Amino acid sequence: MRVLRSVRVKFMSREATAIALFDSGSSVTIIQRRFFEKVFGSTWSILEKPLRVCLVDGRCIDIDKYVQLVIEINGFSFPETVLVVDEFVEEIEIEGKKIRLPELIIGAGTMDKYGIALDPKEGIKIAGATLLI
């Protein structure tokens, strides 16, 4: 299941609004490098060994950057390690329709960790224990 939602993203002393796709089929949480650089600059950490992931368009890529962000949803703040993707597809075509992809994809691991549930009627529900920062 997938839900699109506007969220606040905080990094160091800056914050911004991003469109996030909550995707229960994604195993990782990722952010577009272009968006991250535009808002926060190019301050990230490098993984010891690149991580290989497959994107929604079927391509598999290597990711070697990550950041520690705070994602704010419904007034709750969640610290999370987020992978920075260089080759983030900004638009895909499904059944002849072009769809713009969000700046941030929140994967199942992040949702499970913080008790974030997707509901067909209500969208995002915070079901588990939460952290207030």
Domain spans of the chain?
2-126
| Architecture of the domain spanning 2-126 | Beta Barrel (2.40)
Cβ atoms within 10 Å of 63's Cβ, excluding its own:
19
pLDDT at 130: 47
Contacts of 67 (CB under 8 A, 6+ apart): 11, 31, 36, 40, 43, 44, 45, 81, 82, 84
Task: Name the β-bridge partners of 56.
Answer: none
**Per-residue pLDDT tens over the stretch 25-84:** 888 999 999 999 999 999 999 999 999 988 766 788 899 999 999 999 988 899 999 999
Q: Which pTM value belongs to this model? A: 0.84
**Per-residue pLDDT tens over the stretch 86-120:** 977 677 777 788 877 789 999 999 999 999 988 88
CA atoms of 68 and 86, how far apart (whole Å): 17
**Per-residue pLDDT tens over the stretch 62-75:** 999 999 999 999 88
